Amino acid sequence: MSTFAAVDVIRAKRDGAALSDAQIDWIIEAYTRHEVAEEQMSALLMAILLNGMTSAEIAAWTTAMIASGRRMDLSTVGRPTVDKHSTGGVGDKISLPLVPLVAACGAAVPQLSGRGLGHTGGTLDKMESIAGWRATLSPREMADQLSSIGAVICAASEDLAPADRKLYALRDVTGTVESIPMIAASIMSKKIAEGTSALVLDVKVGTGAFMKRADHAAELARTMVELGAREGVRTSALLTDMSTPLGRAVGNAIEVAESVDVLAGGGPADVVELTVALAREMVSLVGLSADPAQVLASGKAMDAWRSMVVAQGGDPDAPLPTPRFREVVVADEAGVVTELDALPVGLAAWRLGAGRARKEHAVQAAAGVLCLAKPGDEVRVGQPLFELHTNTPDAFTAALADLSGAIRIDPTGAAFERPALVRDVITAG
């Protein structure tokens, strides 16, 4: 491999030049080996944030991050493999019902998930609300479970795109998280390295999403779809609304309970709608003919859920954690709810203990917010709007302050028009 001086690579990007494949390969490998200083990579990340990257540069950067570790081989699983990745939102528990549903349709879903940071929840945090469930599986355990059940939700191993792990931590403390090339490369390097043959991206847009603007979300989606296509992974993306929390539960254990309701044939309409929409896209990408809506109604997805939980040491019948303290917020006016802003709801749940400010912090399984009124609902004076859950009652004050402007009620009872949950579908080519 060619050897470069880190400062020359930094200067090139600072001055708006496109980096060569050789420069990118070298700096990713050297940084992973601790041969490029943190301050030098910080400078390069800032130059990339300010000056952007060409599609060829993003592809080379993603490939180099994949090559920094192991690429999993799922060819022996015996089912077509397809995964889903969400860019994160408030009440976004979709992976929980989606993974067993797609498995029940005949696919294998290797859902390598993460933990929450800030106001967006982590899938592993939610699943760890289940007594005995474990997030860490060996590659052999993962492959065996995919073969037998078709469903896995677990943590990524340390040797999967290790360059991304270092870069992600650095971006978090250097003000460079918002770089679309880096977001795309981070997500896709891990998903491609996990060995799936197809991938559906759920790119959130709205107040509760990382991407607040539709044009930025669409750019990120197109970039990731192109990266998948370049690496031979059939990829598509759904742009979905995150201006309002998904479902009524925002937290960990309460989101598990809501997900089980969906698998049992109930649950909030928006959670069911998005779960089925993503499942249809996933089974279509791998050429399966099953109708996810029918499979969900048949109870087969619930069977797959229970098998998946048991296989990872969990007890699907164990009671979920409950909070020591609750606080209810009631309506002070009557009318129709026209807005429920996802961001303050997510922040309130975070303050109550459902999320973390730093990766090393613990979360409370029982903490969170139940949204008892959603846009389109009629409410009367004194009717409960939110129920707050926590084990630390001192957190109520800040959480209530967050929620003070979260909901808007039209006292005239004007007709409410619900925005589309799925805004667009982006495919390769």
Model confidence pLDDT, tens digit, residues 410-425: 998 777 788 899 999 9
DSSP class of residue 222 equals H
Q: Are 98 and 279 in contact (CB under 8 A)?
A: yes
**Is residue 10's pLDDT more than 80?**
yes
In the prediction, which pLDDT does 50 show?
Answer: 97
Q: Nearest CA to 240 among 215, 217, 268, 272? A: 217
In the prediction, which pLDDT does 228 show?
Answer: 96
Between residues 80 and 429, which one has the greater pLDDT?
80
CA distance 91 to 355: 12
**Is residue 49's pLDDT more than 90?**
yes
Beta-carbon contacts of 215 under 8 Å, excluding residues fewer than 6 positions away, are none
Q: What is the dihedral of CA 250, 251, 252, 253, to 10 degrees?
A: -80
In the prediction, which pLDDT does 358 show?
Answer: 67
- The model's pLDDT over 177-220, given as tens digits with 9 standing for 90+, comes to 889 999 999 999 999 999 999 999 999 999 999 899 999 999 99
Confidence of residue 251 (pLDDT cuts 50, 70, 90): very high
Q: Map residue 384 onto helix, strand or coil.
A: strand
Q: Map residue 168 onto helix, strand or coil.
A: helix
Which one of 1.20.970.10, 1.10.357.10, 2.40.50.100, 3.30.70.2190 gives the CATH number of domain 6-52? 1.20.970.10
As a whole number, mean pLDDT of residues 89-95 equals 95
Active-site residues: which are they?
85, 164, 171, 186, 190
Query: Residue 99: what residue type?
Result: V
Confidence of residue 1 (pLDDT cuts 50, 70, 90): low
DSSP class of residue 177 equals T
**Is residue 261's pLDDT more than 70?**
yes
From-to residues of CATH 1.20.970.10 in the chain: 6-52
CA distance 417 to 415: 7
CA distance 181 to 57: 9
In which element (H, E) is residue 276 found? Answer: helix 269-285
CA distance 21 to 229: 18
Average pLDDT over the chain, rounded to whole?
Answer: 94
Q: Which CATH class is domain 325-410?
A: alpha beta
**For the whole model, what pTM was predicted?**
0.95
- The model's pLDDT over 319-372, given as tens digits with 9 standing for 90+, comes to 999 999 999 999 999 999 999 999 999 999 999 999 876 666 788 999 999 999
From-to residues of CATH 3.40.1030.10 in the chain: 82-318
Between residues 89 and 358, which one has the greater pLDDT?
89
Percentage above 70 pLDDT, the chain: 97
Q: Which CATH class is domain 82-318?
A: alpha beta
Structure tokens at 2: 């060619």
In the prediction, which pLDDT does 177 show?
Answer: 85
In this structure, the number of other CB atoms found within 10 A of the CB of residue 303 comes to 15
- The model's pLDDT over 141-179, given as tens digits with 9 standing for 90+, comes to 999 999 999 999 999 888 899 999 899 889 888 989 889
In which element (H, E) is residue 46 found? Answer: helix 38-51
In the prediction, which pLDDT does 80 show?
Answer: 97
As a whole number, mean pLDDT of residues 226-247 equals 96
Across 71-80, 111-120, 125-134, 173-182, least confident range: 111-120
Query: Residue 247: what residue type?
Result: G
As a whole number, mean pLDDT of residues 87-103 equals 96
